[in-house]
C-alpha cells in the first residue's frame, strides 16, 4: 500500500476505504447470487428431464430466495458501519 500523503486526513482515507469495501461487498453478494441461480438453472436444464422451462423456474426461485435473503439481511445489518445502532462484526 502506498504511504499516506501528509495532506490527506486520516478520516477521509478511512471513509474512502469503507466506501470501497462496501462496493466490493455488494458486488460480491450479487455475483454469488447470479452464479447460484445460473448454475442451478443450467443443472436443471441440461442434467434433468426438467428442460428449459424447469431451468427457468429454478432460476427465478433461486433468484427470488437470494434477493429476499439479501434484502432482509441488509435491513437487519446494514453494510454501512457508520449507521447508528449497527451491531458489531459478530
What is the tens place of the pLDDT at every residue in 38-90?
A: 999 999 999 999 999 999 999 999 999 999 988 777 666 655 666 666 555 44
Angle made by CA atoms 58, 60, 65, in degrees to the nearest 5: 95
pLDDT at 90: 40
Average pLDDT over residues 22-28: 85
Phi, psi of 41 (to 5 degrees): -70, -40
From the DSSP assignment, how many helices (H) and strands (E) are in the chain?
Answer: 2, 0
Domain residue spans of the chain: 31-77
- Count other Cβ atoms within 10 Å, centred on residue 81: 12
Average pLDDT over residues 1-12: 65
Question: Predicted confidence band at 35 (pLDDT cuts at 50, 70, 90)?
Answer: very high
Amino acid at each position: 500500500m502506498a504511504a499516506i500523503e501528509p495532506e490527506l486526513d486520516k478520516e477521509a482515507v478511512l471513509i474512502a476505504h469503507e466506501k470501497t469495501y462496501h462496493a466490493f461487498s455488494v458486488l460480491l453478494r450479487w455475483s454469488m447470487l447470479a452464479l447460484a441461480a445460473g448454475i442451478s438453472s443450467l443443472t436443471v436444464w441440461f442434467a434433468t428431464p426438467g428442460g428449459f422451462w424447469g431451468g427457468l423456474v429454478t432460476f427465478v426461485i433461486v433468484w427470488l430466495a437470494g434477493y429476499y435473503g439479501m434484502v432482509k439481511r441488509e435491513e437487519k445489518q446494514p453494510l454501512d458501519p457508520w449507521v447508528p445502532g449497527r451491531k458489531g462484526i459478530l
